[in-house]
Structure 1
Amino acid sequence: MNQRALLMVLGLSFLVMGCSSQPKNINNVCSMFDENYDWYEAASDVQKKWGVPIHVTMAFIHQESKFVSDAKPPRSTFLWIFPGPRPSSAYGYAQALDETWDHYISKTKNYGADRDDFDDAVDFIGWYNYTSHKRNGISKWNAKHLYLAYHEGHGGYSRRTYNKKKWLLKVSDKVQRRASQYLRQYKTCKADLDRGWFSRTFL
């Protein structure tokens, strides 16, 4: 392959990698990372920076947005027909609220971070779960309880407000199962992913 052709392939590959469309198979973490290798790099950076495992971070995004970059809570309806307001300001991959996102930026100095940017969203999840670990003593591998703190806030988690919400407990169990599934899958493809994007693509 001559130099010009290689540069064209690289350019097209980066263009595809930059797309924010939902992955084809959101139930398989290896498939998602194969389709979006930059997501693997971002999730790996989060693990190194905040100590939150890749499979936990990805399970959070599956639950919150199904990997849709501009996801928002569905609107309520007025008179069963007309669209009403949304129940919250949650937005993006991590479904972060306006005020929580602003707090994240203030604490991390990650100015310019966007909720519909995957790298920023996973960093937010890593930061929040790291804070849950520090404030609430939750293991960074415990997806269930990290999610309860994510949903209820650190104060709410300390007060165990989640015990009054059976539906939330079911959802947190679902997140734990998803994280366990992703971990099993990740173990089968980690070695290949760690070869790097260039080696996997051209060698």
Structure 2
Amino acid sequence: MAFSFPSLRKPSPRTVLILAAVGALSVGAVAAGASKDQAAPSNEAPAAAPPPKQAPAVQATTDSARTSADTQAAAALPQCRAARLVTINSTWGIPVPSVYGSTSTNCNLMYGDDPHRGSTVYGDPDTAIRVLQRNLNYCYGSKLTVDGIYGSNTRAVVKLVQQRHKLAVDGIYGPKTRSAMNWRMYSMGTRSWSTGCYSPI
């Protein structure tokens, strides 16, 4: 039995051209994929990997380090052993703890000042602590005993003030706490106190 195959039409020149172009594109794509899989030696240095994203824990460590640095800076200052009226304008001033025998208010008060720190006996830290305690009572509503002792209650209130003003919460009264907190002002001219509390220093 003989089989007969159907006769095929001869493709037109245009069809041959299209088929050739499609075939060439397919072969080129396969060759390009193969060359990517085989790494050819190159004189160029490999591209650097992108840097890893910073983890939140690193940020927390940075904040902790900053808080520790703030605490150390405050603790390194001399003890406030006096109080002085810092002039705000021609009418008002603010009584704040200060350095003994100086106009500077860059000093600290901390837990255990009762009333002198260590063997230092000059100045009057008792007055400095009382000025701070009176102000904390009036401007922050604390009910501290105004005793001139920087005890656990005074430290706890200072910590609340620091937390409220987004400072390092270490319980040490220093320049950053002084500048951030609110103070009751006093007028030497009228010998009267302000009814409100302000943060002008």
* Larger RCO of the pair (alpha carbons < 8 Å, separation 6+): 1
Q: Does TM, scored on the shorter chain, surpass 0.5?
A: no
Greater helix content: 1
Q: TM-score, normalised by structure 2?
A: 0.24
For the pair shown, which has the larger CA radius of gyration, 1 or 2? 2
Q: TM-score, normalised by structure 1?
A: 0.24
Greater strand content: 2
